[in-house]
Amino acid sequence: MPFLYDLLLKAIRPIVNKWPLPRIEEGGIYVHAASLGEVNAISPFIHLIIQRHPDMPIFLSTFTETGYRRAHDLFDGDIAIGRFPYDIKDKIDEFFRRGNFRALLIVETELWPNLILTAKKYGVPIFLVNARLSPRTLRRYRVLKSKFSSLLSLFSLILAQSETDRRRYLYLGAPPERVRVTGSLKFDLMNEEVEPPENFPSGNRRLVVFGSVRPKEEELILKAAVSLLRKNPEAHFVIAPRHIDRVQAIRKFLDSRGIPYSLRTSGEIRGRIMILDTLGELRNFYGVADVAFVGGTLAPYGGHNLVEPAILGVPVIFGPHYFNTPDAARGLLKSGGALLVHNGEELEETILTLLREENLRQKIGERARKYVLSRRGVSEKIYREILPYITSK
């Protein structure tokens, strides 16, 4: 296995050699966030450090091009930003020689061996923050459990998103006294205000948004929407596939049944169903929704962002497959801010009830919003945990 890993790094080196060396100031914090999602997640914490320690350098590395661009959008001029060199040992070593870092913060699940071992070599405290382990990742890591156990033993602290994540890290061999639950940074990301979507008329209607819909649940959702068109003349629907390449399949389903619809990109409103074939607008549509269904939950995908509609005071519906976000799902259900459905029939009936009963709709939406607000402050918790390490050097 080490041989194959070294072979992979050797193959990727020509690409990495073309990347410019990042600007790194000495004596700061090194944050590694793999991609767009992790960069967004860690942004409240980085802004907190900038605010409270304006003279402390921060270096952020990211793995993907989208993460790199997003980092520049969020922090350009405030911190140093560079591409992560695929765990190539001498490149990583150069980062640490130049940086003389106070701490290394790795976001979520990025257990790169050379990154971790190099930090240890230079005596830099290592933290896994906003740490999570999906069932799929856990199964993959379990194959090399002894290797990951030795890596996890090198962390000063592992700050998990949830109790579920904490237990998974313990199963992999993390030292129990170093694994703590601080919550998910996604709660700190959520703003209660959002701009309404452009060129989308309001009108006298009830809007249901199906967000992040996955292929194996498309037919259930579309059948429910078509049935609800007949049962509630005020109902309008926005269907947002998780991946844009599914737009054609959704169109084919509706065309085969003669159901009029519009595409967001067309700029026209036709019928009472819109397919959201753009990126980055789902939250704007949640903001004008009366009811939201969060996809990836009626089929075993694990679910997507339940917090996004909840913070906007929209009643949330999801299916039983929420293993990627178990704590948020259970918390919303326990607080009365969400409703669980198990199939297309239950989905249809639940939406119909919410559309008919305004008081119930408002009550569930307000409970959802209050639940999210009660979970904020994760950046502060992480800051307090690492403060002794970043101020002692």
Q: Which residues contact 10 (CB under 8 A, 6 or more apart)?
A: none
Q: Which of 341, 243, 248 is nearest to 291 (CA)?
A: 341
DSSP 203-248: -S-EEEEEEEE-HHHHHHHHHHHHHHHHH-TTEEEEEEESSGGGHH
For residue 346, count CB atoms less than 10 angstroms from its CB and return exposed for 0-12, middle for 13-18, buried for 19 or more. Answer: middle
Cα 162 vs. chain centroid, distance in angstroms? 14
Please identify every residue annotated as catalytic.
Answer: 38
User: Among residues 290, 336, 282, which one has the least CA distance to residue 313?
Assistant: 290
> In terms of DSSP bridges, do strands 58-62 and 80-83 run parallel, antiparallel, or are they unpaired?
parallel
Q: Write phi, then psi, for 314 (nearest 5 degrees).
A: -100, 130
Given a contact cutoff of 8 angstroms between Cβ atoms, the answer to whether 211 and 304 are in contact is yes
Nearest to 221 by CA among 194, 263, 249, 179: 249
